[in-house]
């Protein structure tokens, strides 16, 4: 097991004929992802990396059968259209890689996903990778690199920073700690699968014994994770690092933000909430592996 | 988030049918007087600056007549700093007799992932505290963005907040229309505070603050946002130059913001070039811990083309009196780092880098990246070191400190002279760049490394000379990914016949004005 993606899951790539679409299809196929179709309007009938290309998602589903996940590589302003098309054709998981998706577009994607009973990761995500099984998005960049960097093991990795997702997995791996799935939840303020959702999924995954999480100042995802731990919903150990200690506090965009978020969002607030709930909060990024080793030792794994 | 000025927000409200006080913005004292004359009677002058607490800082003043308005605007507001921000415009409006102050807002709620309407029947300054003290007066409602806020839902909000009769109907109408404004302008937040019941009973928006989603600004030229980003100050000249580079190129991320200006060498400012937000934050912390100050924040990540990294580096290096150049991200980047290395090499060679540089280019193809960056810049005046994923940000910051402490900034240094170039063959790139070859050099080039190293493989030899193997139109539309190999690899390993010119609008003029 792992979360969200396994080697047999059937995957679509939207925007497959573009620069990123082509390069990441090579990565995904090379790593073992079951990419069965691609979509690029006007390019139906072509092939990319041996994957058949269709004009619409519906056409891909008609010919290739049910599609579980779609990885979207189209420019930000076109992401809404792509996601809605995927959900309409029955896709259950959309990974929205692009940056600069307008926020009201994300709200529309959210509404459509709720109706379709589907999930989305991102936008502005590097994607996710289940070690030695499959990758959705661009984690690792190249299949050879992904195989070298990430080793299988008992830790689930969730990060709000794309680069740190890989870096955490690599530095943990160097210390002998492998991972089940690593996921970058996305860098935008509104995202489909925030840290608390990921941690909950790791809780339900029998192979995952502990969670390592990279949080950041701003928003309320870390506080929500703390609540889940405090409520006993999450019982697996959580090792957390929160970035942005020295950064000057983010400018609040309005009074309304303050009314809604209250004291959430600050470094101290996040670290305090996580510590109080019982998470292991690491102050020095270079010591995350050491603390994770300690946690795993305590678990007897 | 791009902020709109109060007067811009009020124009949006007015065109949606929300009552705002009659008035206009003025950019000179004479104009302020003229607007006051048009309005007639007592007016309020409001400085158009992005700060809170304007009243206490002299940013809101009242005038009994037009001559007084002209005098006040000229002597105490225009051209003067209001809480550190220079006041360039004054909104002149008819005053409103206030009977009651309320608060209305539409925001995008990140956690709920929906638009949320907030309404409080008690409003005015310090609304956060008011909301906390009067929870019964505050109503929040999530909205399905596909349906919008129905008029009956707005009435229900007003009713739940305790309004009745004419007030209920009037306020509900404003809430309904405010939602329309927020959705149409793709606002991150649209606030009316205070929303006033005037002594005559009419509902008036007395102040308004709207911030627009940066990523949607391109769809709203009517809003006239120059730089789609929230600044706590007007953008600097370099911010504007960088934004022009960033806004039209969807390949990867480029984010630049200047954090300081006008510093001297003794202040120990470094140019910071990160990759990825999380890694950048930790890397900046590492630099701060070594006693540096950060001149700018810059992030090139998400697999940007080499050309974008090049332009970023050129913009960073346009800052004066830097002591060093520090590049460091997460350490294990998915993007192929030799692209970034080539972008840096081109920039460093063009300016003849004369400040120490430490780069941490860990990630895909890092060995190649390190080799390119260090070997191809070996003849530059300044020391340049490059590390990979197994070296920490802390170590790299320490190395930069060591280099800057022993470097003699005053020494005169020879900068390498670029090879002469006379274009024999050229084509354009997707960002208005030009790739050209000087065949007099190509003819005596044994390596033809440009063809071999071209990432999109769009060059082939015609006879003995490199040329496109696709149409120039295809190259211009993006098949040429601006990998810079035809220049950077050619100059290092070929005969110097390849050259790519990548315009950065405004940079030359900026450098001249500084010199």
pLDDT tens per residue, range A65-93: 999 999 999 999 999 999 999 999 999 99
Model pLDDT, residue A250? 40
Range(s) of chain A covered by CATH 3.40.50.261: 127-299
Put simply, the answer to whether B110 touches A76 (Cβ < 8 Å) is no
Helices and strands of chain B, counted as H and E runs: 17, 27
Among the listed residues B108, B127, B134, the one whose alpha carbon sits nearest the alpha carbon of residue B195: B127
Residues B397 and B341 in one domain: yes
- Is the pLDDT assigned to residue B107 strictly greater than 80? yes
Please state, rounded to an integer, the average pLDDT across all residues of chain B: 93
> Based on the domain organization, do B254 and B386 belong to the same domain?
yes
Please tell me whether residue B22 adopts helix, strand or coil conformation.
Answer: coil
Residue intervals of chain A classified under CATH 3.40.50.720 are 10-121
Tell me the average pLDDT across B264-289: 91
Q: Does B341 map to a domain?
A: yes
In a domain, B1, yes or no: no
User: In terms of domains, do B192 and B249 share one?
Assistant: no
What lies within 8 Å, CB to CB, of A301 at 6+ separation is: A154, A209
Q: Do B333 and A163 touch (CB under 8 A)?
A: yes
What pLDDT score was predicted for residue A247?
A: 58
Say whether pLDDT at A245 is over 80: no
Nearest to B510 by CA among B250, B261, B218, B293: B261
Same domain, B295 and B182: no
pLDDT on residue B126: 75
pLDDT grade, residue B53 (50/70/90)? confident
B86 and B105 fall within a common domain: no
Instruction: Please tell me whether residues B444 and B487 are part of one structural domain.
Output: yes
Write out pLDDT tens, residues A53-71. Answer: 999 999 999 999 999 999 9
CATH superfamily name and code, A127-299: Succinyl-CoA synthetase domains (3.40.50.261)
Give me the mean pLDDT over the B328-347 stretch. 93
Same domain (yes/no): B244, B354: yes
How close does chain A come to B280, measured CA to CA in Å? 9
Q: Give the residue numbers of A annotated as catalytic, written as ranges.
A: 255
Residue B510 inside a domain? The answer is: no
- Whether the Cβ atoms of residue B67 and residue B87 lie closer than 8 Å to each other: no
Interface test with B, best of A18, A260, A265 (most B CBs within 10 A): A260
Query: What pLDDT score was predicted for residue A252?
Result: 38
Identify the band that residue B85 occupies on the pLDDT scale cut at 50, 70 and 90: confident
What residues have CB less than 8 Å from B272, skipping those under 6 apart? B280, B283, B284, B287, B294, B295, B296, B297, B298, B316, B326, B327
Q: Which two tokens stand for residue B340?
A: 């970034």
Whether A151 shows a pLDDT value over 50: the answer reads yes
Taking CA–CA distances from B112, the nearest residue in chain A reads A190
Find the domain containing B47 and state its range: 22-94
Residue B372 reports pLDDT greater than 90: yes
Of A110, A174, A258, the CB nearest to B113: A110
Give me the residues paired with residue B460 across strands. Answer: B467
What's the CATH code of the domain at B281? 3.40.50.261
Enumerate the residues of chain A whose CB falls inside 8 A of the CB of residue B144. 111
Domain count of the fold of chain B = 4
Question: CATH code at B27?
Answer: 3.30.1490.20
pLDDT over 80 at A249, yes or no? no
* pLDDT in the model for residue B515: 76
Q: Which CATH number fits domain A10-121: 3.40.50.300, 3.40.50.720, 3.40.718.10, 3.90.1820.10?
A: 3.40.50.720
State the pLDDT confidence band at B249, using cuts at 50, 70 and 90. Answer: confident
Pairing of strands B296-301, B425-428: unpaired
Residues B211 and B249 in one domain: no
Q: Which has the closest alpha carbon to A243: B279, B257, B259?
A: B279
- In the predicted structure, residue B400 carries a pLDDT above the cut 70: yes
Q: Is position B191 within any domain? A: yes
Cβ neighbour number for residue B26 with a 10 Å cutoff: 25
The CATH code of the domain that includes B493 is 3.30.70
Tell me how far apart the alpha carbons of residues B43 and A2 are, in angstroms, rounded to a whole number.
66
Q: Closest residue of B to A242, CA-based?
A: B278
Most B-contacting residue of A73, A167, A212, A248 (CB-CB within 10 A), to test interface? A167
Handedness of CA B471, B472, B477, B482 (dihedral sign): positive
CB contact under 8 A, A254 and B191: yes
Same domain, B478 and B385: no
Which of B140, B215, B303 is the closest to A20 by Cβ? B303
**Percentage helix, strand, coil for chain A under 3-state DSSP, each rounded to 5:** 40, 20, 40
Could you give the CA distance from residue A60 to residue B350 in angstroms, rounded to a whole number? 49
For A284, the closest chain B residue by CA position comes to: B282
pLDDT at A257: 52
Phi, psi of B224 (to 5 degrees): 60, 40
Selected for mutation to probe chain A from B9, B207, B277 (highest A CB count within 10 Å) is B277
Query: Does B266 fall in a domain?
Result: yes
- Alpha-carbon distance of B79 to B87, in angstroms, equals 5
Please give the Cα distance from B294 to B284 (Å, whole number): 7
Report H helices in chain A.
19-31, 57-64, 79-88, 103-116, 143-149, 162-174, 195-204, 221-230, 255-261, 267-277, 288-299
The pLDDT value given to residue A256: 53
- pLDDT recorded at residue A251: 37
Taking an 8 Å cut-off on Cβ atoms, the answer to whether B481 and A190 are in contact is no
Q: pLDDT higher for B245 or A247?
A: B245
Nearest CA distance, B70 vs chain A (angstrom): 32
In a domain, B508, yes or no: no
The shortest C-alpha distance from A129 to chain B (Å) reads: 12
Q: Is the pLDDT of residue B463 over 50?
A: yes
Mean pLDDT, to the nearest integer, of B316-332?
Answer: 95
Q: Say which residue, B440 or B229, is predicted with more confidence.
A: B440
Please check whether residues B449 and B474 belong to one and the same domain.
yes
Predicted local distance difference test score (pLDDT) of residue A206: 97
Query: Closest Cα of chain B to A214: distance in Å?
Result: 9
Output the pLDDT for position B414: 82
Residues B258 and B345 in one domain: yes
Pair B183, B83 in one domain: no
């Amino acid at each position: 097991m792992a979360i969200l993606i396994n080697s047999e899951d059937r995957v679509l790539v939207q925007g497959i004929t573009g620069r990123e679409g082509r390069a990441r299809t090579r990565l995904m196929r090379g790593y073992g992802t079951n990419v069965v179709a691609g979509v690029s309007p006007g390019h139906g009938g072509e092939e990319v990396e041996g994957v058949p290309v269709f004009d619409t998602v519906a056409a891909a589903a008609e010919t290739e059968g049910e599609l579980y996940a779609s990885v979207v590589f189209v420019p930000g302003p076109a992401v809404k259209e792509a996601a809605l098309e995927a959900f309409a054709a029955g896709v259950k998981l959309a990974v929205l890689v692009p940056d600069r998706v307008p926020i009201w577009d994300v709200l529309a994607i959210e509404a459509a996903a709720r109706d379709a009973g589907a999930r989305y990761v991102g936008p502005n995500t590097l994607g996710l990778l289940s070690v030695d099984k499959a990758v959705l998005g661009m984690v690792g960049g190249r299949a050879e690199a992904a195989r070298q960097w990430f080793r299988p093991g008992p830790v689930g990795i969730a990060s709000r920073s794309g680069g740190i997702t890989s870096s955490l997995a690599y530095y943990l791996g160097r210390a002998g700690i492998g991972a089940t799935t690593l996921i970058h939840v996305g860098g935008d303020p509104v995202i489909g699968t925030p840290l608390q959702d990921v941690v909950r999924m790791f809780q339900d995954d029998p192979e995952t014994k502990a969670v390592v999480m990279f949080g950041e100042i701003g928003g309320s995802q870390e506080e929500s994770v703390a609540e889940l731990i405090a409520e006993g919903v999450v019982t697996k150990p959580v090792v957390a690092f929160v970035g942005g200690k020295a950064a000057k506090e983010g400018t609040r965009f309005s009074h309304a933000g303050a009314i809604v978020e209250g004291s959430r969002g600050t470094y101290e607030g996040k670290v305090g909430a996580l510590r109080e709930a019982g998470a292991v909060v690491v102050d020095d990024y270079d010591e995350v592996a050491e603390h994770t080793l300690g946690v795993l030792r305590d678990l007897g794994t | 988030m791009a902020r709109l000025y109060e007067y811009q927000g009020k124009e949006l409200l007015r065109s949606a049918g929300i009552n705002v006080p009659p008035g206009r913005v003025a950019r000179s004292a004479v104009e302020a007087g003229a607007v006051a004359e048009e309005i007639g009677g007592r007016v309020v002058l409001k400085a158009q600056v992005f700060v809170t607490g304007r009243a206490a800082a002299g940013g809101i003043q009242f005038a009994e007549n037009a001559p007084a308005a002209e005098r006040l605007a000229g002597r105490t507001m225009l051209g003067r700093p209001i809480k550190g921000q220079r006041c360039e415009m004054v909104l002149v409006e008819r005053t409103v007799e206030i009977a009651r102050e309320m608060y209305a807002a539409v925001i995008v709620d990140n956690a709920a992932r929906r638009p949320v309407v907030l309404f409080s029947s008690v409003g005015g300054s310090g609304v956060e505290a008011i909301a906390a003290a009067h929870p019964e007066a505050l109503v929040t409602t999530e909205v399905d963005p596909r349906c919008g806020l129905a008029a009956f839902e707005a009435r229900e909000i007003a009713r739940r907040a305790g309004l009745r009769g004419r007030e209920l109907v009037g306020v509900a109408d404003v809430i309904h229309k405010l939602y329309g404004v927020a959705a149409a302008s793709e606002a991150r937040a649209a606030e009316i505070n205070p929303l006033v019941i005037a002594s005559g009973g009419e509902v008036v928006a007395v102040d308004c603050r709207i911030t627009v989603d940066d990523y949607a600004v391109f769809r709203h030229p009517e809003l006239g946002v120059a730089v789609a980003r929230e600044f706590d100050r007007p953008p600097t000249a370099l911010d504007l130059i960088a934004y022009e580079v960033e806004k039209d190129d969807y390949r990867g991320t480029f984010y630049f913001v200047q954090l300081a200006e006008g510093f001297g060498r003794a202040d120990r400012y470094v140019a910071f070039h990160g990759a990825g937000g999380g890694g950048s934050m930790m890397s900046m912390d590492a630099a701060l811990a070594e006693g540096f100050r950060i001149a700018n924040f810059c992030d090139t990540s998400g697999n940007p083309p080499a050309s974008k990294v090049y332009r970023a580096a050129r913009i960073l290096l346009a800052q004066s009196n830097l002591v060093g150049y520090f590049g460091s991200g997460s350490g294990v980047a998915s993007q192929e780092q030799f692209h970034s290395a080539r972008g840096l090499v081109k920039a460093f060679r063009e300016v003849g880098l004369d400040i120490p540089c430490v780069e941490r280019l860990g990630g895909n193809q890092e060995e190649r990246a390190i080799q390119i960056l260090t070997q191809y810049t070996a003849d530059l005046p300044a020391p340049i070191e490059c590390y990979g994923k197994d070296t920490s940000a802390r170590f790299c910051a320490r190395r930069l400190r060591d280099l800057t402490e022993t470097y003699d900034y005053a020494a005169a240094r020879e900068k390498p002279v670029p090879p002469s170039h006379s274009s024999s063959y050229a084509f354009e790139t997707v960002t208005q760049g030009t790739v050209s070859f000087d065949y007099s050099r190509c003819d005596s080039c044994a390596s033809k490394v440009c063809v071999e190293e071209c990432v999109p493989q769009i060059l082939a030899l015609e006879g003995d000379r490199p040329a496109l193997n696709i149409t120039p139109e295809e190259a211009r539309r993006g098949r040429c990914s601006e990998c810079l190999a035809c220049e950077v690899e050619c100059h290092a390993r070929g005969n110097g016949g390849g050259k790519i010119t990548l315009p950065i609008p405004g940079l030359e003029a900026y450098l001249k004005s500084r010199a």
